[in-house]
Amino acid sequence: MMHTVILEGRGDAGEWREAARALLLGGIEPRLVDWQVPRDLGPGLFEPQQEPFKALPEASPSRQPTVPRAFLTLAESVLCHSDPGRFALLYRLLWRLQQNRDLLSIKADGDVAEAFAMEKSVRRDSHKMKAFVRFKEIEGEGSRRRFVAWFEPDHHIVARTAPFFQRRFNDMDWLILTPKGSAAWDGRQLQVSLEPAGKPDIMDATDDLWRTYFTHIFNPARLKVRAMQSEMPKKYWKNLPEAELIPGLIASAETRVRSMLKEAASQPPVRHERRQAIAFEAPEGEGALSSLAHEASACTRCPLHAHATQTVFGEGKEEAEIMFIGEQPGDREDIAGRPFVGPAGQIFDRALMQAGIDRSRAYVTNAVKHFKYEPRGKRRIHKRPDSGEIAHCRWWLQKELEVVRPKVIVALGATAVEGLLGDRTAYQKLKGQAIALNEETVLIVTIHPSYLLRLPDEAARAREAEGFEAMVRLAGDRLAGVGLG
């Protein structure tokens, strides 16, 4: 007998999970289940011909199905896809996982491949929403400014993407309307509705701002029409005020490149251009840190961005319990785009190893995210960031701290301490100490590893190295002390 399951199908994972669990407990094979969402049914078909599926009585504990965590994560994304086949696909996978728990690692399997393709499409749609939502200001009461945006996602991604807008546009009231639900923020509460919304009729001066911005960031020398259309697909153009400029900018690109070449002496290095292009790509991962890193890749809060190859953001997982903060990326880090990979990084890695700290479980970052240097011939000589630059970059460091919430923070050198505490003189007072910042967080202050590279006297170097390694060991012990070993 066929079993019909009717779902809302608006990206709420709970409704599918409940039905799938009951079906699985009832031993009902995937081929006997007809998954439907009301909008997929034709007129008059809202009443299913068969009895809708009813949850079965609780099964005995010995029959409780289990699934790998990775499947639940995958299912949450796939359920946001708009393909009506997603429910059946996931139930097939769930069924097959009972026989083979490693099924998801078989990437050539048709069902597995389809699910991962759907997950990727959902992720991409979410990135597009982050990039292409255009707020328009509307009249508001009180002191807060109010904005509305209209967006047309492919999938049911409003709920999963809304927290990004809450973080990014925290200090204004906004409402994002889409045919697949809406999200609103009023400074206190994020509200999400899965009900389809209608397109608001609003036009305003912010459109002109977007056009001006787009004209400025458009670089004719880097014009790749296909890549541009894949990053900003045509289907989004109708809701982007700047999109009407694109044909004209493309048409005039060649002439503009020729005039730019005439002024070639003032062009930034090619490597800089290449790295800057990365800033316009969608972020890789889904989490808050990937979004932050992506935002930071286009940071122009201080002038250092102009000469650095790229932003070197922190590296590590959101769950990291220990955070190391250095000064700023060096020459090697600036090119690699990763912190502590050059000579200072080698000293750092060795100290970590000796202390039994796994770098992949730590979060490693810098107080300043761009390389500051002075060109000397072909070499770029490191220059210490000043208080203004450190203060501008504190914004990013605070965001990293808010997301990672480490239990142990190790500040490597004076700039790290200034970035953390906003006090240029604190380092001298705190060096060599472990200070409880609050009940949960301890701050350990030690020298920067590159200080060891600069010390000419061997005995002094050995002494300082010992002190540095002891402080890193102390950080490792603190980590173990909070049960995170």
Q: Where does this chain bind ligand URA (CB under 6 A)?
A: 326-330, 333, 339-340, 342, 344-345, 366, 448, 450
Give 30 or 329: the residue with its C-beta nearer to ligand URA.
329
Give 33 or 421: the residue with its C-beta nearer to ligand URA.
421
Give 446 or 450: the residue with its C-beta nearer to ligand URA.
450
The CA-based angle 208-211-213, given to 5 degrees, is 110
Give 161 or 328: the residue with its C-beta nearer to ligand URA.
328
In angstroms, what is the minimal distance from the CB of 331 to ligand URA? 9
446, burial (CB in 10 Å: exposed 0-12, middle 13-18, buried 19+):
buried
In angstroms, what is the minimal distance from the CB of 397 to ligand URA? 13
In whole angstroms, what is the distance from residue 18 CA to residue 435 CA? 48
Of 237, 235, 238, 245, nearest to 214 (Cα)?
245
In angstroms, what is the minimal distance from the CB of 431 to ligand URA? 16
Give 126 or 415: the residue with its C-beta nearer to ligand URA.
415
**What are the tokens at 473?**
């060991």
Phi, psi of 191 (to 5 degrees): -115, 135
Sign of torsion over alpha carbons 253, 255, 260, 264 = positive
In angstroms, what is the minimal distance from the CB of 120 to ligand URA? 31
In whole angstroms, what is the distance from residue 448 CA to residue 136 CA? 46
Helix axes 13-25, 69-78, angle to 10 degrees: 130
Give 181 or 345: the residue with its C-beta nearer to ligand URA.
345
In angstroms, what is the minimal distance from the CB of 326 to ligand URA? 3
Buried/exposed code over 99-112 (b: 16+ C-beta within 10 A; e: otherwise): eeeebbeeeebebb
In angstroms, what is the minimal distance from the CB of 468 to ligand URA? 13
Give 241 or 339: the residue with its C-beta nearer to ligand URA.
339
In whole angstroms, what is the distance from residue 167 CA to residue 315 CA? 20
What are the CA-CA distances from residue 58 to residues 4, 7, 133, 401, 439 (Å)?
20, 21, 45, 44, 44
What are the CA-CA distances from residue 330 to residues 23, 185, 305, 340, 382 (Å)?
57, 40, 14, 8, 7
In angstroms, what is the minimal distance from the CB of 448 to ligand URA? 6
In angstroms, what is the minimal distance from the CB of 333 to ligand URA? 4
In angstroms, what is the minimal distance from the CB of 391 to ligand URA? 17
- Residue of closest CB approach to ligand URA: 326
The four Cα atoms 235, 278, 298, 182 give a dihedral, to 10 degrees, of: 30
Give 408 or 411: the residue with its C-beta nearer to ligand URA.
411
Maximum Cα–Cα distance for the chain, whole Å?
A: 88
Give 339 or 476: the residue with its C-beta nearer to ligand URA.
339
Give 17 or 461: the residue with its C-beta nearer to ligand URA.
461
**What are the tokens at 182?**
């809406």
In angstroms, what is the minimal distance from the CB of 427 to ligand URA? 14
